[in-house]
Structure 1
Amino acid sequence: MKVADKVRSPCVSVCALDASDVCIGCHRTGDEIMRWTRMTNDERREVLTKVAKREEKVAL
């Protein structure tokens, strides 16, 4: 698999976990951040779906 084919990290270099263990920058949990490099593309897409839902909650 080429590097360009990998699902990219949502990291925005604003790294701080809130009281719920969710990063205020990328909206991933601490565990998702730690496991990201070992995830398959399908697992990464699942995380990105969760990230989108977390972002919506913050925007409300």
Structure 2
Amino acid sequence: MTTVPSPCINWCDINPENGYCRGCYRTLTEIADWSDLTNIEKLEVCAQLPSRKPQVPQHN
């Protein structure tokens, strides 16, 4: 079985306003526990990341 890869992009900086890493949008707990999570748990975390990413306004 293939392991779900980490979403880390090596830009580790926790945003104090929301507690998410500015690089991968995981919490410190999610980052620390990543290697112990099951693939299902990793996929659940990954599914939440797009909603945590700041939305950039689209210019027309």
- Shorter-chain TM-score: which interval? 0.7 to 0.9
TM-score normalised by the chain length of structure 2: 0.85
Q: State how far apart, in whole Å, the 1-side matches of 2:12 and 2:39 are.
A: 22
| Number of equivalenced pairs | 55
**Partner residue, 2:26:** 28
Structure 2: gaps (5+ residues)? none
Q: CA RMSD in A?
A: 1.0
**Partner residue, 1:10:** 7
Structure 1: gaps (5+ residues)? none
Displaced runs of 4+ in structure 1, greater than 3 A?
none
Q: Secondary structure at the match of 2:4?
A: coil
Aligned-residue sequence identity (percent) comes to 36
Q: State how far apart, in whole Å, the 1-side matches of 2:27 and 2:41 are.
A: 14
| Greater gyration radius | 2
**Partner residue, 2:35:** 37
TM-score normalised by the chain length of structure 1: 0.85
Q: State how far apart, in whole Å, the 1-side matches of 2:40 and 2:51 are.
A: 17
